[in-house]
Amino acid sequence: MKKLFTLAVCCLVVLAGCGGNEGGSSDGVLRVGVGGDISQLDPATADDSITANILNQTYEGLYTLDTDGNAVPNLATEDAKVSEDGLTYTVTLKDGIKWSDGQDLKAEDFVYAWKRAAAIGNANAYYSQFITENIKGAVESGKIEDMTEFGAVAKDDKTIEITLKKRTPYFQALLTNTVFYPLRKDFVEADGADYKSSKWSSNPEAPVLSAFKFSSINIKDEVVLAKNESYYDADKVKLSGVSFKVMPDMDSETNAFKTGDLDFATSVNRETALQGDLKENVYVIDPFVCNYFMLVNAGNENDGSSDALKALKDPEIRKAISMGIDRAAILQILGYGDLAYELHGLIPKGIPGASKDFREEADETNKLAVTDVEAAKKIMESKGYSASKMLKVAYSYNDNQMHKDVAQSMQASLKNIYIDLELTPTEKEAFFDDRDKGKFELARHAMTADFIDPMAYLSMYYNDPGSAKAGNTADDKKYEELVDKANALDGDDRINALHEAEKYLIQEQNYIIPLFGYSEPYLLNPSVKGITSSPEGHYRLHNAYFE
């Protein structure tokens, strides 16, 4: 279900100071460096954070996320009216919302966009699964015209009625995703174009409805935005435009910021940014919902003669591995300082809980994964292992310096509990392919959130057909029952039940071994103010300005 987003800015709190870039755009254009290719600027098909952050400046949805990660009305007038059984949502649009070409936004623009995304299908529109899995009558890779029983209906120009397949308490959080942004049929299908095509998205004349509209589009080099005078809050937009410059080399982007060619650098050399004068320009991303953990192959039935895979079926062995890892040592080697923290559960900081942050309220009473070398040694000794008879297990990761540092730190600490961790780095694409197919013993993993709710993480290990990939939870009916029980509840009762599901997944079964949560540093011109963002990493430049 989850596709990894590249890291992006989240809740931003600038450190005081005026080092580094003190210049600024004389024409009111904010110059932003992005660390990779921009994909087609189509809300239905966007599945990376770079593209999503550009779309976040040009499109808007019914709901948006506030800085605490709560889904709040945006183009909707208020919270949706929800039926007693939780299956029907009625949403009313605000008055006066217009597309950049002056046409009124209509409820049908949302319904059309959602049908289109479903029809494109999960293979090409990754997040269309949020539609096909939840909205009644949505058919993956079906034709728009055949979806006559589609559960989202425009009752009139201002009202959308949505009927769900199943009760989904976090549905409003899902509605913040780009796949739920509206689109105009007349533009997408202009001149007889196929509705599945995204060619229209490279046209700077494409109608949008947020603070900025497209001025020029070259997704391999630079995308330039201009202020949208038709935006309903245009009088609050102070920037004249935004330039997104593709700069995949971190050192080049860092240097461009130092020389004053960028105002906002979102992919920079960590060591350079955190040292010397540039520290005065670093943004602390807090919270940023990114975790880093070890995935355990506890469910691969094709284990052949592998002693490791047989051993990993034992939950006590899995627990020993978790307790044997020195998380503090990993953080020290990585050198992130305050930008990283030991993670004691699957869900990182930044997800709202019952009364406070989900991770923090869990850790106050029960840290699900902790380091305890002596307890780990006793478990391993009870299984027949010792300094002269060690358990050899392979750890897979894609080969870059950060992952190598983590792997070597774990290799050193696990020797103390009689585990010989064999490091097996591979090329990135080959690694992801093997991991998805369950071809590993232990493997590195990391996740950001596609929507801000504990289920963004817990659903990854619910009814997943790749049991090795999911840590055997596909065969664990108890876990599925715990998740189902939680999602039949509301409010604090639901959150508390999700805590129990996470406890079972992490502490009782140790299918997943949490390591740390972290953020990447970004660099911002100290004269730039007013950037806002939310925990999943989508920043908003609507109220940004040069001081």
Percentage of the chain beyond pLDDT 90 is 76
Token pair recorded at residue 83: 């039926």
Burial pattern 222-250, b for ≥16 Cβ within 10 A else e, equals bbbbbbbebbbeeeebbbebbbbbbbeeb
Residue pLDDT, tens place only, 318-340: 999 999 999 999 999 998 888 99
Mean pLDDT, residues 495-519 taken together? 96
Separation CA 12–CA 67 (nearest Å): 9
Domain 291-518 has CATH 3.10.105.10: yes
Please give the structure tokens belonging to residue 314: 């034992």
List Cα–Cα distances, 247 to 12, 32, 33, 221, 542, in angstroms.
Answer: 22, 10, 6, 8, 23
Q: Which of 540, 18, 56, 513 lies closest to 277 in space, CA to CA?
A: 18
**Of residues 3 and 353, more confidently modeled:** 353
Residue in the structure block whose two tokens are 């196929």: 194
Instruction: Give dist(CA 485, CA 250) in Å, integer.
Output: 45
User: What pLDDT does 272 receive?
Assistant: 87
Going by C-alpha positions, the residue among 36, 80, 34 that lies closest to residue 57 is 34
Name 108's Cβ contacts closer than 8 Å, sequence gap at least 6. Answer: 154, 157, 185
pLDDT in the model for residue 254: 94
Give the full edge-to-edge strand order of the sheet including 88-92.
81-82, 88-92, 159-163, 152-156
> What is the rounded CA–CA span in Å between residue 274 and residue 336?
8
- Residues β-bridged to residue 532: 540
H/E run at residue 362: helix 358-365
Q: Evaluate whether the domain defined by 60-200 bears CATH number 3.90.76.10.
A: yes
Q: How confident is the model at residue 31 (pLDDT cuts 50, 70, 90)?
A: very high
Residue with the bigger pLDDT between 16 and 332: it is 332
Residues 126 and 258: their CA atoms lie apart, in Å, by 37
**What does the buried/exposed string (b/e) look like for 258-278 if buried means 16 or more CB atoms within 10 Å of the residue's CB?**
beebbbbbbbbbbebbbeeeb
CATH of domain 1-59+210-287+524-547: 3.40.190.10
Cβ–Cβ < 8 Å for 244, 253: no
| pLDDT over threshold 60, residue 303 | no
pLDDT, residue 21, reads: 53
Q: What's the pTM value of the predicted model, to 2 decimals?
A: 0.88
Secondary structure (DSSP) of 198-254: -GGGG-TT----SSEEEEEEETTTEEEEEE-TTSTTGGG---SEEEEEE---HHHHH
Residue 1: the pLDDT is: 46
Q: For the stretch 79-112, what's the b/e string if a residue is b when 16 or more beta carbons lie within 10 angstroms of its beta carbon?
A: ebebeeebbbbebbbeeebebbeeeebbbbbbbb
Cβ distance 513 to 345 under 8 Å? no
Q: CATH 3.90.76.10: which residues of the chain?
A: 60-200
Distance of alpha carbon 401 from alpha carbon 381, whole angstroms: 33
Model confidence pLDDT, tens digit, residues 469-480: 444 444 688 999
Do 15 and 88 form a contact (C-beta atoms < 8 A)? no
Residues of the chain with CATH 3.40.190.10: 1-59+210-287+524-547
Which alpha helices (H) appear in 8-122, and where do they start and end? 49-58, 107-120
